[in-house]
Structure 1
């Protein structure tokens, strides 16, 4: 190999070494500027804004006296043929619902909830069962918007339907629950704010703006649901008397979660 070739190879090798050294320095983080402290790393998944917030949960309740009553109504008829059973059940239901108009029950306050039709058999200790007839059940739910008329309406339905009617699932309810819930929500936010102010004062901080507010849960402890069953077998004199209804109260509750920033 000539001297010229050796010199050329040496220059190439020197150039590669210099390029490597320069590239390694270029990929490294720049040196800390004089007098500038290194920034402390933030916790994983936490921003500076999140680090200066306070989250608090508040619960609020409001009570109201129920002013409406609803009940389930069922009418049944068993006849030799299906057509007669359906017609008789329909007439009985119409008679029962007609008796409720005197207590403020309008057509819009009645909702049909079911209709069933099936054969009825007599079973014997020997031999096949024999067809006795057909049974029809019609079901509806009735709303009485004036609770004072509720007991009278229930008694009237039983008296009008006789042995063919069943009344059950009596429920008391608040006609305007939104107004009650508004009071419960205000109480929940007030409770959360009071706790947040206590914690902020203990930490030597001042509460700033509300960043988020969300409703977590709601609850409704009704005064009366799923009570007793009445039917046409009760004494007619007793049926003429209004069923005693005691309103009690409904407790509606709300839980909210509020996030504040510190000033």
Structure 2
């Protein structure tokens, strides 16, 4: 019995030692992990918000313009028919000039009654007025001929307006302007960080309030008689601008 008791006591002691070592390993590992610094660094609760701006030059390669027709008649059907006929004549002339039909889209149609007004008397209905309009997009080099063709055989009811120079693809120019805007924001933020004895951290938020984009050139509305005369459009260079608002960490 005493031999068995001694053996059991040895086993118990051995087991206790093993368990103790295991616990020490777990505690030591947890402690080491808790002390290990975050590779990303501590999160900063202090930030600074800086706006940056950037721009790049673009050369317009398209012209957008509106064609509109307003007709009046005693009956609505008659006014609508005349307006549609006038506008169709202009659009067909554009297509004959080489403008794709998918580059001509309807932008508005308005029908309203007209009245004769005499002071002291109730307004007297006289008929209807109908206005229809389309938006046309053409290459810059073809714009002058396209406008002249659209107005050549049109009646006096046709108007050309909203003439605007545009850039067909602003993707690359916008990227360059954004890069410049971010660099501008970072440079200013670094200046403030240095002045306050801090280091600049990462950008935690970036907002583009709305790229200014290329505003383009817009001309006044022309009558069909004026627009039918040959005229030239010169693109030149314009600026495409972007603004960003960036929140930076201060470390």
- Fold similarity call, TM over 0.5: yes
Distance 2:78 2:122 in 1: 25
Larger Rg: 1
1:230 corresponds in structure 2 to 222
1:69–1:250 distance in 2 versus 1, CA, 3 Å: farther
What SS does the corresponding residue of 2:234 show, helix, strand or coil? coil
Residue-by-residue CA offset, 1:46-101 (whole Å, 9 max, x unaligned): x97224x5543322122212222111211133334332332222122111011112
Contact 1:156–1:240 (CA under 8 A) maintained in structure 2: no
1:64–1:104 distance in 2 versus 1, CA, 3 Å: farther
> Is 2:61 the counterpart of 1:61?
no
The RMSD of aligned alpha carbons is 3.1
Shift of 1:125: 7.9
1:163 to 133, 145, 156: 156
> Is 2:42 the counterpart of 1:50?
no
Distance 1:200 1:77 in 2: 65
Distance 2:179 2:122 in 1: 68
Count how many residue pairs are aligned between Structure 1 and Structure 2.
209
1:82–1:204 distance in 2 versus 1, CA, 3 Å: closer
What SS does the corresponding residue of 1:210 show, helix, strand or coil? strand
- Could you tell me which runs of 5 or more consecutive residues in structure 1 were left unpaired when the two chains were aligned: 1-46
Contact 1:188–1:256 (CA under 8 A) maintained in structure 2: no
1:153–1:186 distance in 2 versus 1, CA, 3 Å: same
> Is 2:246 the counterpart of 1:246?
no
Residue-by-residue CA offset, 1:136-186 (whole Å, 9 max, x unaligned): 221222222x11112222222221322120111212222223332211110
> Is 2:203 the counterpart of 1:215?
no
The alignment's TM-score, normalised by the length of structure 1, stands at 0.66
1:101-140 to 2 correspondence within 5 Å?
A: 101-122=95-116, 133-140=127-134
Distance 2:157 2:141 in 1: 26
Contact 1:173–1:250 (CA under 8 A) maintained in structure 2: no
1:143 corresponds in structure 2 to 137
